[in-house]
Copies of this chain bind each other. A is one copy, B any other.
Amino acid sequence: MKQSKIKKLVTSIFLKYGLSKTAANISSDALINAELVGAYGHGLSRLRMYCNRIEKRLINPKPKIKIKNISQSITHIDANDSIGFVAADLGIKKAIKNAKRTGIGMVAISNSGHYGLSGYYAEQAVKKNLIAMIYTNAPPAIAPHGSIKSLFGTNPICFGSPTGSKIPFILDTSISMINRGKVRFAEKNNKKIPPGVALDKFGKPTTDAKKALKGVQLPIAGFRGSGLAWMVDILSGVFTGSSHAGKVKDPFEDFSRPQNVGHLFITFKTNLFVNNYKHRIKDNIRIIKGLPKIKGVKEIMYPGQNKYKRFKMNSKKNIKISKIIKRDLEALKNYAI
């Protein structure tokens, strides 16, 4: 399907479900961006879930978002259960503004929801020539080291930096072996997940996406990965005033209450301590790319490079719509308030 057509369709669906024009636009842009970078688990496969949650008022279509400036650098946003995209869009814009004004910006968001890809927001700061560090928590998916029960989300660590070229450095890595979105995508499309990334609810290794969703995803690097996931839960949950310690609701499965996800954005100017950051980072990347390579490796890639390539390639094409998503779109567009 043509991008412009999908954009129009998804926006109109969000409008039907009661989002404002701005909110519908922000949300459809984020979903389509996820499709274009190949992060299908964060794309259109989630549209139905968002609409279901709006219908049940677990996502507030007309939130009264409260913005509280703690200082010129520091801001708190209570998203009032807005759709995550809108809260995060506001948050990153505020974090950019704060950093531009004082050198460093910090924005904490509480009472938000799943916002898609952290890297999407980091990119916006990087475009304004800032470095960004972004943290968000998520519903239980990973067992803390030593436990057999999921509690941490896939809790991504995200870091973005300008590179002096048009392709930004965007590290956006979940702490699980693979993204929950990918497991969900596999489940929705009846595909298997790789071995070694998840256990079923009895603690046995599984490649069945459905069983994995009911079981435990494995963190990277054992105790270290578990510690990093814990750090993200503290920064985005405990610190921001959002849910934490496994209390963030699963948007697909738990319709008892709003998700109450927390996000933390930290942004700063690249030239605080050096006046030639672009030159320095260009050098850094050039040297690393010039290292001797493992046989069969064509190019040493920096984080974000592959995603950018996919984005560029996919931007020229129509977006492939699976049968299931087609069915979702059909059902949702016929929704009458």
Contacts and interface: CB of A to CB of B under 8 A. Distances in A.
A151 B270 CA distance: 23
A292 B149 CA distance: 6
Given A227-B173, A273-B108, A103 B131 contact: no
A204 interface: no
Nearest to A237: B284
Nearest to A147: B291
Contact of A103 (B74, B231, B299): B74
Q: Which of A102, A227, A273 has the most CB of B within 10 A?
A: A273
Interface stretch (A22-30, A218-226, A250-258, A312-320): A218-226
B102 A71 contact: yes
Contact of A76 (B235, B273, B280, B302): B273
Contacts of A284: 233-234, 237-238, 244-245
A260 to B, nearest CB: 13
A148 B297 CA distance: 10
Contacts of A223: 303
Contacts of A147: 288, 291-294, 297, 300
A274 interface: yes
